[in-house]
Every structure is written in structure tokens, then in C-alpha cells.
Amino acid sequence: MANLSRADVEHVAHLARLGLTEEELARLEGQLNHILDQYTILTTLDTEHIPPTAQTIELANILREDVVQPSLTADEALANAPERSGGHLVVPAILGGGEGGA
Amino acid sequence: MNDLTRLSAHEMTALLRSGEVSSQALTEAHLAVAERQNRALNAWLAIYRADALAQATAADERIAEARHEGAAALNALHPLCGVPIGLKDLVSVKGGQATAGSKILQGYIAPFDSTVTARLRQAGAVILGKTNMDEFAMGSSCEHSAYGPTANPWDLTRVPGGSSGGSAAAVAAYHVPVSIGTDTGGSIRQPASLCGIVGLKPTYGRVSRYGIVAFASSLDQIGPFARDARDAAILLHAISGRDARDATSAPVEVPDELLKLPTSDDEAAGYLRGRRIALPREYFVEGMEPGVAARVREAVAAMEQAGAKVEEVSLPHTEYGLATYYIIAPAECSSNLARFDGVKYGLSDRTSGEYIADYLRTRGAGFGPEVKRRIMLGTYALSAGYYDAYYLKAQKVRTLIKADFDAVWAAGFDAICAPTSPTVAFPMGAKMADPVAMYLSDACTLPVNMAGLPGVSIPAGLSDGLPVGLQIIGAPWSELSMLRLARAYEGITARAPWRDLEPAELQLTDDPTTPSPIERKERLNAGASATGSGKA
């Protein structure tokens, strides 16, 4: 049986940058444990010598010509921005002050 | 012409080229039905009336010009020229919305066309609008849309399947002859099955994913919905092929024979003679409705009678599919959805002024419950200490699941036949409280995505008055032979009585007293009867 605690759920939510309500955290604790229980079936399979599959079609290193192609203008690229300043996106300050500094 | 909306796309092509009907008239007829029924069905999140009519005028001009030049020019047009189409609302259409069924993308305007859109424009298809879907394509009922559920045209109290539920319902209700969906674990095939139409998930790499909102990048594919195999083949032809903008799109030839599936039922049926069809015993186990299993076995028996050789096979790792998929897909989604940060586009809550807090608020408010659940699962499966136990383990089991299928192709089978969905369309709300019950809806379709294979669901009759889908699974790049088999099955069942049955709910109006699916669902939940058996 999976035993993800409430603190674990809160930790994962923080890693995932999801702001969850008390009610959501409580519901997810039960649901995630129930879903994780379904995963235990995989432990019955011996996969020690099995290579992992990340992609199913065997394509490797498709190269293209290094030529200039038309792309979005700055205005087009910024048109959906919640906040912009001239030709730039306004991003929240991440350095200095607060716990957010990397 | 009685009702233009009852025509298939290939019938429209012939009438457009002969000049018997204009794209203007076709587009107007389909717009009228879509607009009239959308209150009751909620299949569309956006209908582009003016733009669609302008595209229709342009198509009519192209056709007139080609007719003037002669037969060769006319034949050089793509069969979709002038034909109305719907696109799932995660396909970018320049200047239009692409909500992906989520609040976090409300108000977002796509600044470019997806490759699929560009190819459809090049073909001359008329984009009628954008269809409803489970948020970020996560779901099997269309109830996880932030814009309300879509109803099933066969029974308005039931789901159309998902995630591409709007695209499926729109085709089943004759709003468009064809539409585009995406399929990560069954999101084209399962709604096609539940709505009684054809839905095809191509080989991974067949169709460019450029400009499609990503869910799980190693599993996502774009594909067609249609009411018959020929139309599905025509639409697949239009959107397939290598695209420099998607490094995972494969340089594999797109066969022009897709445009020439047999017209005659007898000729089509002839394809079955000598074909070897595998029937995987693991696909007929617990949770399968007896009526569904019966229809699928009858379909396979009919193919056998028409000359196919049917043998039971084993895909021994099938039972591990669900767990494997629900590790890999959430892991990929948690990475892909990290981009929704309230900075570049989409919902943005900057009230706190502190970046982590704003990030949490934006994503907490923008994503719905299923998306949050999957981001949580994926983040956990990829987190330090659990990566090997979950994600790496799942990728190894994926190898075994793919090897099961490889063994079937190595044994010389032409295709695998199986149920598409273990159940017919279920009542709205029936699986919303239990995520695992919802996930089981895709038990027969998700192994196909994990192996990167093509699969198509085709109508195979009814159970309890609701459509059952037969799934045909093929080897990589075998879409043409899969569709020939699908067309052959249409040929041998052309005179079956169920072929004449139609969705029950086609007389819908936009009368304000007509309940929307969300109102109907609320009434259903409020009512004492939880059986959901009655028609609305």
C-alpha cells in the first residue's frame, strides 16, 4: 500500500508549483494513494535486464540546413503576454529578497 | 439536394467538382446545424461563421478555376477542398483561440498556424470552428473541460467519450463530415467508439505535432474523425508527412492510395481474403461489458466468414499497461505543463508580487482537478528517490509492452482486432468520483500509444442501443492496410440493419428552454435516479 502523507502531498504540490486548497490537498492525498496502489503491480515484473523505451520510432539526428527562416515578430510573440514593457516580457523578480532566490 | 449535412466528405468532393453544390452552400448548411444544436450538445467552443464562409468562397474560386483549366487541374485539388471541418481546441489556428479546454489558456490567441492547420488550408478545407475537449486532453468523458461537458448525440444524459469528445460528437451529429482530434491514450478512438463513428490514431511520427498543445510528447498523435473509412483516409492523407518543425515527424512516404479506397462494397470486402487477424485474449477480460465483447466477436466472425484467418494471440503484458501509462503520461505532462507560468501567455495572477507565490496562485487557479492530479502524479514519479521505482520502471515495462506487439507482427499477422472501449457511452458523472474507474476506459487503447502503433476504431453495431467500436491495430506505418480492412468491414456489413440507425438526438434546437449538458448533468445529479437510463 502506498503511504503518501499529507506532508508529502504538500511537498509535491510545491515542487509542481501548484497552489492547492486544504480541500484539494485532502482529496488528493486519498486519490494519489489509491492511484499509486495501482502501480504496485509493476513490482511483480523482473525488468533488471530490460532497456527502457523513451521513443518508439527509431529516428536519430535528423539535421536541417542552417538557414534563416521567417519567424514571429517581437510584437506577435509578445501579444499574449500578461505584462510587457516595450519589446520585453515583464517577469517577476527572482533575485534578491524573499525565499525565491535561486 | 435534401440535406447537405448527411453527405460524406467524398460525396461532397464529387458534387463540388461537378458544380452541383458550392462550398458556400455546404458550409452554410453545416454552420446552421452546429449553431442550432450547440446549446444542447456543447460540442463547439468556438464557431467561426464569417471566417468559414470566407474560406468557402475561396474554395469555390479554387474549384471554379480548376474546372476552367480542365480535368487534370480538378483532380490535382485535394478532395477536402471546400469541405467543412472541425478542429479540437488545442490545434493552433492563427488569430483564433486555443484553450485546450483549460481556464489557464482562456483569452490566448494563437500567433501562428499549426502544421496540421497549414496543411488543411493548403488542401482547401473549411475550418468551421474549435471543438470541446477534456482539459489538456486528460480525460475519457469530456467532463473535464473547463467550459462544461459535451453530450453524446445518441443519448444526451451520457458522455461522448474523451478527450476529443467535441470533435466526435460534432461528426456524429452531422455538424461536420470530418474533424481533427488528438490521441495520447485513446482520446480519438474511445470517443469515436462511444459516438458510433470512425476515429484513427496514426503511427507516432506520422503527423506533425507542431502547433498542437502538448500533453505527453512521446505518446501524442493527431488524427481524423469521420463517418466512414474513406473520409478518415482522405483526412489522414491531408495532414500526414514529415515536417521540419517537428523533429519527431518521420520521413516516411504518405501513400496516395489513401485517396483511393474502394467505392464498391464487394470490391472492398475482397481485401479480407487471406488476411491474418490476431485476437488478443487479454482484451476480453474483467470490466468488459458482455454486449461490447459480443459485438466485437461478431465483427471478427464476419471477417472470418469473408475470408480472413483469425487466430487468438496473447499480449501478455497487457495487464501492466494501465499502471505503465499512468506513470509515463503524467510524468511527461508535468514537464510539458511547467510552461504555464503566467509570464509568457495565459492566466496570470500577480497579486502577491512574490514570484513563487504568484506561480502557485496562477497554476492553482488555472488548472482543473484532473490536470492537477496528473501533474502531481508526474512530479512525484519524477522526483528524487522515486525516479527509478516509477518512471524508469515504467519505461522498461513499456519495452515489454511494445515487444508483445512486435511478436505479433513478426508472426505475420496483418492486424490485431480488439474492443476499443470496455463499455458503451456511460452516464455523465458516473466515473467522476473515481479517477481509476475513468482511467480504465482507456485500458484497450493506451497500450497502442505506448508502442507507437496506429489504431482505428470503427462502428460495429450497438449494445443497449448505444454504439460499440471495433479497434483495428496495425504495425507501424500500416494505416493504409488498416483502413482497407476497415473499409472491407464496412463492405461486408453495408446491409446490416444497425447501419441505418442514427443518433437519437438530432432534432435539437437552440430554444432557450433546451438544457445545456451542464444543466442536464446537474439535474441528473440532483435527481434520485442514478441509473441514467432515460432520454433527456
CATH topology of domain A6-44: Histone, subunit A (1.10.20)
pLDDT at A81 over 90: yes
What pLDDT sits at residue B417?
98
Using DSSP's 3-state secondary structure scheme, residue B226 falls into: strand
Q: Residue A63: its pLDDT value, please?
A: 82
B455: helix, coil or strand? Answer: strand
Q: H helices of B493-533, where? A: 517-526
Q: Which three cell numbers stand for residue B308?
A: 480472413
Judge whether B523 lies within some domain. Answer: no
Angle between helices B9-18 and B229-239 (to 10 degrees): 80
What is the pLDDT at residue B454? 98
Cα(B104)–Cα(B340) distance, rounded to whole angstroms?
8
The per-residue pLDDT for B77 is: 98
pLDDT of amino acid B527? 66
d(CA B127, CA B80): 11
Task: For B467-506, write each residue's pLDDT tens digit.
Answer: 999 999 999 999 999 999 999 999 999 999 999 999 988 8
Residue B221 lies in a domain: yes
Averaged pLDDT for residues B89-100: 98
Nearest CA in chain A to B476: A57
Other residues' Cβ atoms within 10 Å of the Cβ of residue B353: 10
At residue B531, the pLDDT reads 43
Q: Is residue B237 part of a domain?
A: yes
Q: With 90 as the cut, is the pLDDT of residue B116 above it?
A: yes
Stretch B500-529: mean pLDDT, rounded? 83
pLDDT band at B138 (very low <50, low <70, confident <90, very high): very high
Q: DSSP assignment, residue B387? A: T
Residue B431 predicted with pLDDT over 80 = yes
In this prediction, what percent of chain B has a pLDDT beyond 90? Answer: 92
Least confident window among A22-31, B82-91, B474-483, B504-513? B504-513
Whether B301 and B268 have beta carbons less than 8 Å apart is answered as: no
| Grid coordinates of A23 | 480541500
| Each residue's pLDDT tens digit, A8-18 | 999 999 999 99
In a domain? residue B344 = no
Nearest to B435 by CA among B75, B141, B210, B92: B141
| CB–CB contact B343 A53 (8 Å) | no
Say if CB B521 and CB B152 are below 8 A apart.
Answer: no
| Average pLDDT of the residues in B75-79 | 97
d(CA B202, nearest CA chain A) in Å: 12
Written as nine digits, the cell of B113 is: 498556424
- Do B390 and A72 count as a contact with CB atoms less than 8 A apart? no
Q: What is the pLDDT of residues B293-310, one digit of tens each?
A: 999 999 999 999 999 999
SS3 (DSSP) at B189: helix
Dihedral of the CA atoms B215, B221, B225, B229 (nearest 10)? -160
For residue range B405-429, list pLDDT tens digits in order: 999 999 999 999 999 999 999 999 9
Which cell is B524 given? Answer: 441528473
How far apart, in whole angstroms, are the C-alpha atoms of residue B454 and residue B473?
6
d(CA B174, CA B7): 9
Q: Which positions ≥6 away from B448 have C-beta within 8 Å?
A: B186, B189, B201, B454, B455, B471, B473
**Chain A window 54-83: which residues touch B at a Cβ cutoff of 8 Å?**
54-57, 59, 62, 64, 72, 76-77, 79-83
CATH number at residue B157: 3.90.1300.10
Residue B187 in any domain: the answer is yes
| Total number of domains constituting chain B | 1
SS3 assignment, position B275: coil
pLDDT surpassing 80 at residue B530: no
Confidence of residue A101 (pLDDT cuts 50, 70, 90): very low
Mean pLDDT of B456-462: 98
What percent of chain B is predicted at pLDDT more than 70? 98
Neighbours of B125 (CB within 10 A): 29
Looking at CA atoms only, how far is residue A31 from chain B in angstroms? 8
CA distance B97 to chain A (A): 11
Arithmetic mean of pLDDT, B237-258:
96
Q: Check residue B371 and give its pLDDT.
A: 98
Kindly state the DSSP code that residue B392 receives in the 8-state scheme.
Answer: I
Cβ neighbours for B268, distance < 8 A, ≥ 6 positions apart: B261, B262, B484, B487, B488, B490, B491
| Bridge partners, residue B362, by sequence | none
Contact call for B344 and A18, based on CB within 8 A: no
Q: Which pLDDT score is estimated for B197?
A: 98
If one counts every other C-beta atom within 10 angstroms of the C-beta of residue B136, the result is 31
Q: Is the ipTM of this complex over 0.85?
A: yes
Least confident of A54-63, B53-62, B123-132: A54-63
Q: Are the CB atoms for A20 and A51 separated by under 8 Å?
A: no
pLDDT recorded at residue B276 = 98
Mean pLDDT calculated for residue range B124-146: 98
Question: Taking the domains of chain A in order of start, what are their residue ranges?
Answer: 6-44
**Which helix H or strand E contains B396, and what residues bound it?**
helix B393-410
Instruction: Provide the domain limits for residue B266.
Output: 12-319+398-500
Is the preceding omega at residue B179 within 30 degrees of 0, hence cis?
no
Q: Retrieve residue B101's grid coordinates.
A: 479546454
CA distances from B383 to A16, B195, B377 (A): 10, 39, 10
- B507 found inside a domain: no
pLDDT for B525 equals 78
- The residues of B carrying an active-site annotation are 88, 163, 187
Mean pLDDT of the B229-240 span: 98
Output the pLDDT for position B533: 39
Q: Band the pLDDT of A97: cuts 50, 70, 90.
A: low
Tell me if B441 is assigned to some domain.
yes
pLDDT at B75: 95
